[in-house]
Structure formats: structure tokens, C-alpha cells
Structure 1
Amino acid sequence: MTIESPKATVQKSQKELFEFLTDVKNFEKLMPESITKFEMLNEKRFLFALSGMPEIVLELKDQTAYNQVVLGAASDKLPFTLTANIESISETESTCILLFEGQFNPMMGMMIKSPITNFVGTLVTNMSKL
């Protein structure tokens, strides 16, 4: 399953947005209002929960300086990645698209597609408000 967010324009340079996203504690600022828990586990890993969903642990998996940040599930139960692709517009502005990719059986895919689409959309919408 692949879900791509709309492109968000962010009032930060490409480097600033990259540094913001690689400091995973900043994801708390991007979470939807329905968040019920956010806990830093270490400098590269955090746990969060949204109402009606199980707790998920995300960790920084990979990064390509100023262009891409890849977070992934720390558990093999729900294997997925959340990739932020960042492009520069100017010295003070950049764009970002979030790409969610996961391997789920068809039934699980049907159940989580809508909540994940909303979640990814909220992250990118909140990013544009930075």
C-alpha cells in the first residue's frame, strides 16, 4: 500500500526543514489533535498513539542530507515507512511530500487506508503551518 500526501509549502529552507524532521521529537508538533500519547524512547525513536488506534513506535531509519528523511515502524507486525521528500523553492521556503509505504494483507489494508491517509494529510498540513 502506498499513500502520497499533497505537496506542502513550508516557510523554512530545505536545510531547516530537513533538520526539523531528523530531530524526531519535533514530530509531536505535527501530530493530529486526536493524539493520546507521545513519548520519546531515544534520540531516534518515539512512540505515539491516536485515539482508536494502537500505539506505534517510529524510528529514524535513513536520511539523505537536505532531501529525504525516512522513518519506519520499529515493529515487524506493521512493516511500513514514512518518507519525507524535501525540495527547495528558495532560501526561506521549501516543499515536502510524505510517502507512506507498507506491506499489509488486503483486509488490513482496507481497514487502515482511510485513517493512514488522514494521518499523513494532517502531518503535511501541520508542516505547512510551521
Structure 2
Amino acid sequence: MTIIQNNIDINKPVAEVYAFLADLNNHEQLMPENIYNWSSTADEASFTIKNMAKLALKISQRIEHKELVCVPSTEAPFAMTLRWKLDEKSADLTNATFVIEAELNMMMKMMASGPLQKLVDHQVSKLKELLG
């Protein structure tokens, strides 16, 4: 299991950060430029990663103000789980951690680890940019 993650502090209450992340329609704003053909509902999203793959994700678990878990809803290039974990530091400060857990063989790990880390880093920084 390959685990790729990053976290950031956001100057917002945990309920506000959770409400934003709980709706997959908002996740398009977190995506890098190489994502296109975005389509989403509150619970599912599908998109294409330029020169890579088409992905469809669905929320498989919601723990209010704590965690959101997304898994592929169609065939994916490899098994993976995307997880947002929230930790309330104070009334107006939330730590958000984005974790991708992926089943990668050695070859896939060499090819995908860099792009996946860039995706994680991009999403946490965009979340901070959007929510403060």
C-alpha cells in the first residue's frame, strides 16, 4: 500500500471546511489544470486526467466534521482510496489532511507517486487558498 499525503491549517471552523469538502461539486475548484471533462453531483464526480486516465469517484463514507472517504465508482487503473481528515484545532482553525492510499506495483509506484504527490499538494494548497 502506497500512502501519499499532505496537510494544512485553515482559518475556518471545522464545520465550514467539512461542508465544502462534503459536496463533490466543490472539488472541481481543487483540481489542477490537467483535469478536464469534469462532471459531478454532491456524492459522485467523474473527470479525465490529461494523458492518463478517466476516473469516477463516489463518497463511500462521511463522518461529520471528521472525515470524508472517496473510492472509484468505476474501473480504475489501480485500487485507491482518497481520504480527507479534519482535525479541529480551535473554534476558527482546522487542520485538513488529504491522503491517497493506492495499491501500486513497483512499476506503477515509480510512474504514479510523483503525479499523485503533486495532486495532493495542489489540492491542500487550493483548499487553503479558497477557504483561507
Query: Does TM, normalized by the shorter one, top 0.5?
Result: yes
Stretches (4+) displaced over 3 A:
none
Q: Name the SS of the counterpart of 1:115 in structure 2.
A: helix
Instruction: Show the counterpart of 1:115.
Output: 115
Corresponding residue for 2:72? 73
**Greater shift in the superposed pair: 31-40 or 113-122:** 31-40
In the TM superposition, residue 76 of structure 1 has moved relative to its aligned partner by: 4.3
In structure 1, distance between residues paired with 2:54 and 2:11: 31
TM-score in terms of structure 2 length: 0.89
- Write the distance in 2 (CA, Å) between the matches of 1:12 and 1:33: 26
Q: Which residue of 1 aligns with 2:5?
A: 4
**Where does residue 98 of structure 1 map in the other structure?**
98
> 2:50: which partner in 1?
51
Amino acid aligned to 1:4: Q
Deviations 1:46-88 (A, max 9, x none): 0122322211111101111101111112234421011111011
The reply on whether 1:62 has 2:45 as its aligned counterpart is no
SS at match of 2:113: helix
What is the alpha-carbon distance in structure 1 between the residues aligned to residue 17 and residue 110 of structure 2?
A: 32
Q: Deviations over 1:5-39 (max 9, x none)?
A: 1x211232111111111111110111112222211
- Tell me the percent identity: 23
Q: Number of aligned residue pairs: give it.
A: 128
Could you list the runs of 5+ residues in structure 2 that have no partner in the other structure? none
SS in 2 for 1:86: strand
RMSD: 1.4
